[in-house]
Amino acid sequence: MTSETQAQPTPRSKKATVSDTATNSTTAPVPAPRKRASKTTSAARSTAAPAEATVKAALKSALPAGFVSFVGSGPGDPDLLTVRAVALLRGAEVVVTEAPEHAALVQAFCPTAEVVDGGFGLDRQPLTQAGRAKVVVKQAKTGRRVVRLMAGDPFVYASGPEEAQACVKAGVGFEIVPGVSPVTAVPAYAGVPLTTKQHRELAVVSCADAKGVDWSQHADDRTLVLLSAVSCIGEVADALVEAGRSAETPVAMTRVGTTTEQETVVSTLARIGSDARAAGMTPPAVTVVGDVVDLRTALSWFETKPLFGWRVLVPRTKEQAGTLSARLRSYGSVPEEVPTISVEPPRNPQQMDKAIRGLVEGRYEWVAFTSVNAVRAVREKFDEYGLDARAFSGLKIAAVGEKTAAAIEAWGLRADLVPSGEQSARGLLDDWPPYDDLLDPINRVFLPRADIATETLVAGLQDLGWEVDDVTAYRTVRAAPPPAPIREAIKTGRFDAVVFTSSSTVRNLVGIAGKPHPSTVIAVIGPATAKTAEEHGLRVDVLAPSPTVEALAAALADFGADRRTTLVEAGQPVTRPSERRPSPRRRVT
């Protein structure tokens, strides 16, 4: 064993550098991990492959072959999918869709499944119910696991009964998986309860053939839920008034309910026809008629979210945008992810090869992860060499922040050191113990990081007496420019806000797409990012109180809430930043 692999401290006079510890080429295979006292969790005691195989087998068993599951996809919000629906999608081999939004569900839960358009035929003409039934039966007879996605609920104002009868006739097995129906969900998202203590009855009426409806049956005070009524709402309202309903009966029409494009028009039977036309209401929409509509003033919860309908640009790497986008979406916004950075392997992979070999051989006392990407890079190397988390036995693990610690935990490990204060390299150094030759058998730290990382952590660790193998684990390069429509939207102010999570995202977005319009709200994650934004001529409107994506999203939501309150108190309509064109902002210096 060479001096580099002995479990003894390296002499201080021969401090290791990148060049003498991690750059020499090697063709020797990575040895099997030596046995040490294990610090891994039970999740790390088995390899990932058997676990993945078990999960895949469970998903496949969720749906028999040559069988159809009619699955209700709900009214539009993907978060309203049932647990059973998600399980069946994950095990599906064929998915028959009928609505454009189904493409996103397929991509999220079963991207390898074959997608069959059940809404249109080969000539792109809408299929009849009989035509859809033929498509479903044909796919089922191939012997594969088929999921028929249906908007709303398969048995509520849908073609589910007809298609299920076709399966019976063809001898194909099927099941019905109810979904959240627009009949109840859309009014709920509009803040309109369908029943109260004073209004206990309701009726649901399809207005696809409004002339065939006997409106005299609905002349009482029951709450009415009208479907397919957008084009004929004026005639329906007149018929209800003629049948005996008061012309001042409240009416609420909500289009594309449960989505961030939701829009509600509140009117009366006397005026709903003209008000709906003036608002440009289009299908799909659900209309509620009755006194329960008055409760919307107090109960509107969805359309009053602080960022409702805001189009927010998220310039991040695709892999890192998920958490931030989810938080922004929870505040009612429509996040659009535009990658500005591409993560690629290092130009010299031999550095990582040698470092991983040293980790397995017990060369290090600590391994310090400064990002989720660093965790991913090391894990990919482990997979390449057939190693698992047991190779970390006996090592101390440091994470620069909670997100990185979570990525480590997902690997079946636990971080021994996470900053108690600032979630940064400086915060990590504040808590890092100095090297003690009596307590620490090895004085070397493995630091896998990006090629553009600062030297703050390296210098700080050396000041504490540690030797550092500073290894480039991955490279960050500028991504390709976004499509022309996105670039145009950025420059012309069609985005309501942009959230910057680092200085590099500012530089790269401006470099590949240009500066955001002055009307766009600029939100940044910390002071350094704010300084970079101002250096590029951007005025910072929102500064996160702490450097986390959760704090950044919450700060933008607070800004949106304050803005909404100001407009309401001034008696002005609540608009989004993109709907107003203020004079160009003065650059802050």
pLDDT digits (tens, 9 = 90+) for 262-275: 999 999 999 999 99
Question: Does position 17 have pLDDT exceeding 80, yes or no?
Answer: no
The rounded distance, in Å, linking the Cα atoms of 68 and 165 is 12
Distances, alpha carbon 384 to alpha carbons 21, 286, 380, in Å = 21, 54, 6
The dihedrals phi and psi of 55, each to the nearest 5 degrees, come to: -60, -45
β pairing state of 285-289 and 444-450: unpaired
The rounded distance, in Å, linking the Cα atoms of 93 and 587 is 55
Token representation of residue 68: 């159809």
The pLDDT of residue 478: 81
- Token pair 């068993």 is found at 61
DSSP-assigned beta bridge partners for residue 204: 225
| pLDDT tens digits, one per residue of 162-172 | 999 999 999 99
Of the candidates 348, 369, 366, which has an alpha carbon nearest to the alpha carbon of residue 358? 366
| pLDDT tens digits, one per residue of 357-371 | 999 989 999 999 988
Q: How much of the chain exceeds pLDDT 70, in percent?
A: 85
Distances, alpha carbon 309 to alpha carbons 143, 261, 304, 331, 518, in Å = 43, 6, 10, 9, 19
Local confidence band at 127 (pLDDT 50, 70, 90 cut-offs): confident
| pLDDT tens digits, one per residue of 294-320 | 999 999 999 999 999 999 999 976 555
Token representation of residue 536: 């590029």
The rounded distance, in Å, linking the Cα atoms of 231 and 133 is 28
The rounded distance, in Å, linking the Cα atoms of 106 and 384 is 30
The pLDDT of residue 63: 52
**Region 95-116: what's the mean pLDDT?**
90
What letter represents residue 516's amino acid? P
Domains in the chain and their CATH numbers? 15-45+344-478 (3.40.50.10090), 53-180 (3.40.1010.10), 191-299 (3.30.950.10), 311-340+481-579 (3.40.50.10090)
Distances, alpha carbon 226 to alpha carbons 76, 202, 221, in Å = 18, 11, 15
The rounded distance, in Å, linking the Cα atoms of 571 and 161 is 50
**Region 126-153: what's the mean pLDDT?**
90
Question: Does position 12 have pLDDT exceeding 50, yes or no?
Answer: no
How many helices (H) and strands (E) the chain has is answered by 20, 20
Distances, alpha carbon 407 to alpha carbons 155, 373, 497, 547, in Å = 42, 9, 28, 17
The rounded distance, in Å, linking the Cα atoms of 81 and 92 is 15
Which has the higher per-residue pLDDT, 123 or 563?
A: 563
The rounded distance, in Å, linking the Cα atoms of 71 and 96 is 10
Under a CB-based contact definition with an 8 Å cutoff, are residues 482 and 338 in contact? yes
Of the candidates 160, 156, 181, which has an alpha carbon nearest to the alpha carbon of residue 69? 160
Token representation of residue 241: 């008034």
DSSP state for residue 267 in the 8-state scheme: E
3-class DSSP state of 200: coil
User: What is the pTM assigned to this prediction?
Assistant: 0.69
H or E element at residue 227: strand 223-227
Q: Please, what sign has the CA dihedral across residues 304, 310, 316, 320? A: positive
